[in-house]
Amino acid sequence: MRVNRKSIARAALAAWLLLCGASVQASAWGLAQLMEQLATVESRRVGYSEVRHIELLGMPLQSSGELIYRAPDYLKKTTVQGGEGSYEIDGELLRNDAGGERREVPLDSHPALAAFVASFRATLAGDLATLQRYYRVTLEGTAEAWRLGLEPTESTMAMVVRRVVIKGSGKRLLQVETLEAGDDRSVMTIRGESD
Amino acid sequence: MPLLWLALLAAGLVVITTTLRLSTDLGQFLPRQANSEQQLVLDELREGASARLLLLAIGGGDERQLAELSHALAEALEQSGDFLRVVNGPQSLPEAERQRWFDYRYLLHDSSGEFDPLSLRRALTARLRELTSPLAPFAKQYLADDPLAAFRHWLQQWQDKQVPGEAHGAWFTADGRALLFAETRAAGFDLDAQERLIKRVQESFAALPGAEGAALQLSGAGVLAVVSRDTIRSESQWLSLGAALAVALILLLVYRSPRLWLLSTLPLLSAVIAALALTSLAFGTVHGITLAFGITLLGVAIDYPIHLFSHLQRGVSPQHSMQRIWPTLRLGVISTAAGYLAMIATGLDGLVQLGVFTIIGLLAAAAATRWLLPHLLPEPRSAQGYAGEAPRRCGIPRPVRLVVVVLPLALAVAYLSLSEAPLWEDDVAALSPVPRELRQQDQQLRDALPVGDLNHLLLISGDSAEAVLQQQERLAPALAALQGEGRIGSYRMAASWLPSRQLQQQRRQRLPAGDALRHALADGQLGLPFRDGAFAPFLAAVERSRQLEPLTPGMIEGTLLGARIAPLLFQRAGRWWGMVRLGGVVEDGRWLEAWSVEQSLPGLRYLNLRATASAMVNGFRDAALGHLAWGGLLIAMLLWWGLRSWRRALQALLPVAAAIAIAVAVLHLLGERLSLFHLTALLLVLGIGIDYSLFFSRIEGQGASAHALRVCAISTLSVFGILALSSLPVLHATGLTVLLGVAASYGLAWLLAAQHDRPVRKTIKN
């Protein structure tokens, strides 16, 4: 009996350890891990299409084009259909080419703009610190199907954007939904990497 | 007599304690052009909004840390309420102000000609394109209210062309320090307030989390003024202490009597108290420089009792000894005082005060020596008095000695007239008591900040702010053309942000009526995806603008917009003045004078501030030299009258003239450039040198005179040697000049001394 009791205790211990191991594994994927994973991506080049619902317009605005990202802080969005032109964010500078006109805006001079840019760029870079500087960050789902919720903490930003939701799988981003002030919103769907 | 003196002394002290107020406004010592426009601008820069800027730099950390410190400091200062504004990075208007000026958008920005269907359509198409951009959430903020984007265009002028580097929302200098500026509520010349604020800023900074490793550097007009006041105060304290100790030591060693040493201070004491009391009564305030510098100049008064002491003899009453040297001493005092008349003749507030102060002091010291000291002096114990042996004479024949005096004079004059290196200091800044490094730091920070180039200015004056703004608007197309041609890089003026009332009224009149605009908009919107009625807020806003009273300078006071405009549009001397600050001017603006005349705009003038300031200093110096020449002539006349012989008068002047020429030549060789302070010091050399000549040429009591002069020279050289060590340009220049001049004076006067010429008489007596 003594021996038996010992073996039972051993078996219980083993089961408990096993259980613990499983729960450790379950919590192994989280915000930190997602960010770590995203940060490994050096560059991306993807196509996108976007639908924008704006109250002032009688119909949704559709556009599509290409996104280029290079770690850690270069981002370019070129619209091919539905409003041609490109926006390039390099470090702290935003460059806009539209209709042969070129404009440069330092991000720092517009805190709300900097925050807005961060929602997308810091996510791509896996830069949690920057995200949390501007947003309350929440994560739902699994590594294969996650939803990152960003809610602005600063009032100037909150007046423009109420919430950004980014959906993805693994290290890929699938959709960016922006809920803007009023009832406006836009949904950007990202198509597979195109090299 | 001692009682009378005590009574006068007490009266002087009462006057000083009840009326003395010190002023520290350096402007009193800078040349002025009364009522000129240049002066007006300089005054505005010195006292106006630009002078209230506190420049701050934070170093010693990585960019992110420094940026965080910069934000935290800016917030702390903002909350203290001591500052009109604190700016640490690219500025955007505060939301409340943004709302307020938004209502005025169609008056502030020119939208005329944009209300027809075609233009509206063009504007709407542009806005639609912006809606597809990633920045759409921002673009649509003002869309319904302002499809013409008039407000955004007006705001764009808000962005500075020349901005410092930025990181994490904070400005940075090229060498990686975070940069801020704060405009104090207190005036820039209110030094006590500035000093308090500086302390508060430093405390706020030290209290910030993470400030331990970082270093805060402060600059700005107020800071420099406070530093210079402190420097003057502390330097003159330790220098005068050092000088007093040196003189005390010398006198104790020479006369071996503490009593004599104490008595020797009485004339100087009387001089300082009389000068201070009377100057204070006459001028209301006494300048810090007058006090520090004037007491230095009065240092010559220590010579007066020395002359008396050395001439004391056993068996001769001190009164009698005094009477014997009095004619010589009196002539010396009067001619020295006459030299300072030149200072008064300059008319420069600070110098007039300094001249009056010194003359009063010299006369008081002479009076105390003449009428007070003899009553208090003991007879010397030794038969020969304090002077000891009669001096040996040198065996060199007189003509040779004359050559030895004249030759260096000729050499120095020849050197000075042949040398190509500039003799005079043209840079006003070099006269400032602020250490050079601090001034350079200030310039560095100023250059990095968008405070604006203050060198090239267009000045427009008028009877009212409105008149000035209208003139600026008339000038605007020409300025825009210059910018287009690349002749200037940028221009900043009040009218760019705040149009004249007249122009705002014109724009208001041109705004379309409700129905007309509604129809035009409906036409313009045709075929575009905007919903019907989407721009109702725009229609309402234009309608409201048609009733709006124009925005005027009075209405923007206390706002950020007002703070921007204040240094550019101000009232002074009963008129309004508008400054147009030009940046990136090619060819150093030599063409701007002619250009500004071509504009034929009444009240428009081009000013090159640096050139103006230099011209003022140069003009003043030429005038001062003229006064000095008259002063020299006056002294020569006095000597002739006193000595009753042209020959002897010339003989008294020759050594000191040679000494001054030598001193100037040596200063030049040392790389010094002459300024007002050197000239003042040369006046002192002139006074001392004449004293030397006069006493050396006395026929009776040669031994005593020579002894007195030796003591005088040693004490003067040690006092001014100490002064030459000062880091203050004023005191250093004075010290060095007097050191050289007095050494040369003494040597040359000794060469021409009477003692060498009258050996025959002495031998006969023996």
Which of B92, B131, B529 has its CB closest to that of A110? Answer: B92
Answer yes or no: do B95 and A181 touch at CB < 8 A. Answer: no
Q: Return d(Cα B742, Cα B744) in angstroms, integer.
A: 5
Phi, psi of B283 (to 5 degrees): -110, -15
Per residue in A75-123, pLDDT tens? Answer: 898 888 877 778 888 887 888 877 666 777 777 667 778 888 888 899 9
B81 touches chain A (CB under 8 A): no
CA of B139, closest CA in chain A: separation in Å?
10
A70 touches chain B (CB under 8 A): no
ipTM above 0.85, yes or no: no
Element (H, E) at A50: strand A43-53
Does residue B462 contact residue B192 with C-beta atoms inside 8 Å?
A: no
- Running DSSP on this structure, what letter comes out for residue B171? E
Per residue in B646-692, pLDDT tens? Answer: 888 888 889 999 999 999 999 999 888 888 778 888 888 888 898 88
In this prediction, residue B607 carries a pLDDT of 84
Which of A61, A108, A178 has its CB closest to that of B137? Answer: A178
In this prediction, residue A13 carries a pLDDT of 59
Length of chain A: 195
Q: Please tell me whether the peptide bond between B567 and the residue prior to it is cis, using omega within 30 degrees of 0.
A: no
Which of A52, A112, A156 has its CB closest to that of B136? Answer: A52
CA of B484, closest CA in chain A: separation in Å?
17
Q: Return d(Cα A133, Cα B395) in angstroms, integer.
A: 92
Interface test with B, best of A94, A109, A127, A157 (most B CBs within 10 A): A109
A79 touches chain B (CB under 8 A): yes
Answer yes or no: do B90 and A54 touch at CB < 8 A. Answer: no
In this prediction, residue B560 carries a pLDDT of 80
Ranges of residues in chain B with a pLDDT under 50 are 759-766
In this prediction, residue B199 carries a pLDDT of 92
Q: What is the dihedral of CA B594, B600, B603, B609, to 10 degrees?
A: -10
Which of A83, A106, A186 has its CB closest to that of B129? Answer: A83
End-to-end CA distance of chain A: give it in Å, rounded: 69
In this prediction, residue A189 carries a pLDDT of 93
End-to-end CA distance of chain B: give it in Å, rounded: 40
Q: How far is CA B90 from CA A97, B59, B172, B216, in A?
A: 23, 19, 11, 20
Phi, psi of B80 (to 5 degrees): -70, -25
A76 touches chain B (CB under 8 A): no
Query: HSE-up of A24 (CA within 13 Å, CB side)?
Result: 6
Which of B95, B132, B137 has its CB closest to that of A160? Answer: B137
Element (H, E) at B176: none
Tokens of B298: 């009065």
Angle of helix B288-297 relative to helix B349-367, nearest 10 degrees?
40
- Residue B534: list chain A partners with CB under 8 A: 56-57
CB atoms within 10 A of CB B344: 18
Residue that is written with structure tokens 């009040």 in the block: B494
Residue A62: closest C-alpha in chain B: B132
Q: What is the dihedral of CA B262, B267, B270, B273, to 10 degrees?
A: -90
Residue A179: closest C-alpha in chain B: B137
CB atoms within 10 A of CB B253: 11
Tokens of B688: 């001392």
Does residue B334 contact residue B365 with C-beta atoms inside 8 Å?
A: no
Nearest to B162 by CA among B387, B468, B492, B550: B492
B431 touches chain A (CB under 8 A): no
pLDDT bracket for residue A194 (50, 70, 90):
very low
Amino acid identity of residue B759, one-letter, is P
CA of A128, closest CA in chain B: separation in Å?
16
A95 touches chain B (CB under 8 A): no
In this prediction, residue B447 carries a pLDDT of 72
Strand B286-287 relative to strand B22-23: parallel, antiparallel, unpaired? parallel
Amino acid identity of residue B520, one-letter, is A
- Concatenated DSSP letters of B195-218: HHHHHHHHHHHHHSTT-SS-EEEE
- Which class for B364: exposed (0-12), middle (13-18), buried (19 or more C-beta within 10 A)? buried
Tokens of A45: 């080049």
